[in-house]
Homo-oligomer: A and B are copies of this chain.
Amino acid sequence: MPPAPLPQQLTELSELLGRMCAAAAGALNRATAALLESRERLATQVVAGDEAIDALRAQVEELAGDALLFHSPVAGDLRAVVSAIRSAGDIERMGDLALHVAEVVRMRSPNPALPAEVRPAFAEMGKVAVQLALKAAEVARTRNVILAAELDTDDDAMDVLHREMMEVLMDEHWPHGVRSAVDITLLARYYERFADHAVVVARETVYAVTGQEPDALPI
């Protein structure tokens, strides 16, 4: 079978990245529910589901390789292919981070991993991170650079939540001991990193579309 024409391959790449990013959002959404409600079976589903995200990365890389091999794209088309390879790496990592959240749930089960008073903050971190990933999915699919510019600002909310959580732990009166502080430190970092990767995916798209790093753009 001859390879598809380049424009069709590029559209397919965008759609794959969008699906992959939406899958990572779904994984973190479920992992967060599992974390907040100590649902071990749901956590196990998240762990099992990570393979599907890894498989999407392999699909992106194969398609990108075909596009390079058969069409020798130039300029914006070349940037689109290269940035798809890079974005797929970031989104796979988002899936891994959702999996890490789920693993903490399973490790502590049947006990809850989180003391009750920090659950609202993690619910909020989960919400922000999932929204960022869904927006990154939309950016990857539609290559909308205006929307992409929003993610940097959205991510500030995550940084604030992360810093606040660290301050709660650092408080001398933290009553839940070291073990729970260690879990919370890692969990908070997983959410923060997940959000960072979503921002990078959006920035990759801006680079692919405009040829410029987002910092250089007047948007």
Contact = CB atoms under 8 A, between A and B. Distances in A.
A68 B186 CA distance: 40
Interface residues of A, number: 25
Contact of A69 (B61, B64, B78): B78
Copy count, this protein chain = 2
Interface of A: 61, 64-65, 68-69, 72, 74, 78-79, 82, 85-86, 89, 166, 169-170, 174, 177-179, 181-182, 185-186, 189
A182 B82 CA distance: 38
Contacts of A65: 78-79, 82
Contact of A82 (B68, B78, B185): B68
6 tightest CB-CB pairs across the interface, nearest first? A72-B72, A178-B181, A185-B185, A182-B185, A170-B179, A174-B178
Contacts of A186: 185, 189
A177 to B, nearest CB: 8
B85 A74 contact: no
Contacts of A185: 181-182, 185-186
Interface centre among A64, A65, A68, A78 (most CB of B within 10 A): A68
Contacts of A78: 65, 68-69
A144 B210 CA distance: 37
19 contacts: A61-B82, A64-B82, A65-B82, A68-B78, A68-B82, A69-B74, A69-B78, A72-B72, A82-B85, A85-B85, A86-B89, A89-B89, A169-B178, A170-B178, A174-B178, A178-B181, A181-B181, A182-B185, A189-B189
Nearest to A171: B178
A85 B84 CA distance: 12
Nearest to A71: B72
A89 B204 CA distance: 12
Contact of A182 (B74, B85, B86, B181): B181
